[in-house]
Amino acid sequence: MTDSAIRLLLADDHPVVRAGLRAVLETEPGLTVVAEAATAEEAVARATEGDIDVVLMDLQFGKGMGGAEATAAITARPGAPRVLIVTTYDSDADTLPAIEAGATGYLLKDAPPEELAAAVRTAATGRTTLSPTVAERLMNRLRAPGTALTPRETEVLTLVAQGLSNQAVGERLHLTEGTVKSHLARVYAKLDVDSRTAAVAAATSLGLIRR
């Protein structure tokens, strides 16, 4: 990071969101938006040019690469900019892959402007900022690790929540129907439930999956 302004890249597929972020951040002293990206692929490419300190990254970009994948691609490079996730999604299925991918912070889009600006400055120094909701979820996982679902269990249950049968889930994830049933059995045990409907309801209420 330079001693002057913190240089920002806004990565979001909604122009109105980028405009809103720009309007908020450019009123803040010491922050300057130098580029925007409408796709995750654009964000990865632009972040390599050496003039970005912090990338504000959405998670969902429609088709193509997602925000977590882009975060991993950006942070894997030496001297990479920091990545601050700014999204509407706060389930474990969203937050954990992003944090594991190397995101420095995770903020929800309904955060107050001053909180957003503070998170950008914190990210620029390499320190972590998490929205209160996300921080609480992560702490709950640490306190009760037995309820944590594996990435594959999360994938299976997310598809079940969309109404797919075990056979359809298996076809989507290239698994046998028996393997899908095994994953669901472990999910039932972790969540202390005995049906697909109850598992979806419990996982949703715990923030483990998004519906």
**3-state secondary structure labels for all residues of 166-185:** HHHHHHHHCCCHHHHHHHHH
6-141 has CATH 3.40.50.2300 classification:
yes
Q: How far apart are CA 114 and CA 122, in angstroms?
A: 12
Per-residue pLDDT of the chain (211 residues; tens, 9 = 90+): 445 799 999 999 999 999 999 999 999 999 999 999 999 999 999 999 999 999 999 998 988 899 999 999 999 998 899 999 999 887 777 888 888 899 999 999 888 999 999 999 999 999 998 888 788 777 766 666 666 788 889 889 999 999 999 999 999 999 999 999 999 999 998 888 999 999 999 888 887 887 6
Q: Which residues have C-beta within 8 Å of that of residue 27, sequence separation ≥ 6?
A: none
Residue 145, pLDDT score: 63
Helices (H) and strands (E) counted in the chain, each on its own, are 10, 6
pTM, entire model: 0.69
Q: What is the pLDDT of residue 55?
A: 98
Output the pLDDT for position 146: 66
Nearest to 187 by CA among 166, 159, 156, 164: 156
Q: How far apart are CA 89 and CA 107, in angstroms?
A: 9
Give the pLDDT confidence score for residue 1 in this predicted structure: 43
Structure tokens at 104: 């420095």
- Domain locations along the chain: 6-141, 145-205
Structure tokens at 46: 């632009």
For domain 145-205, the CATH class is mainly alpha
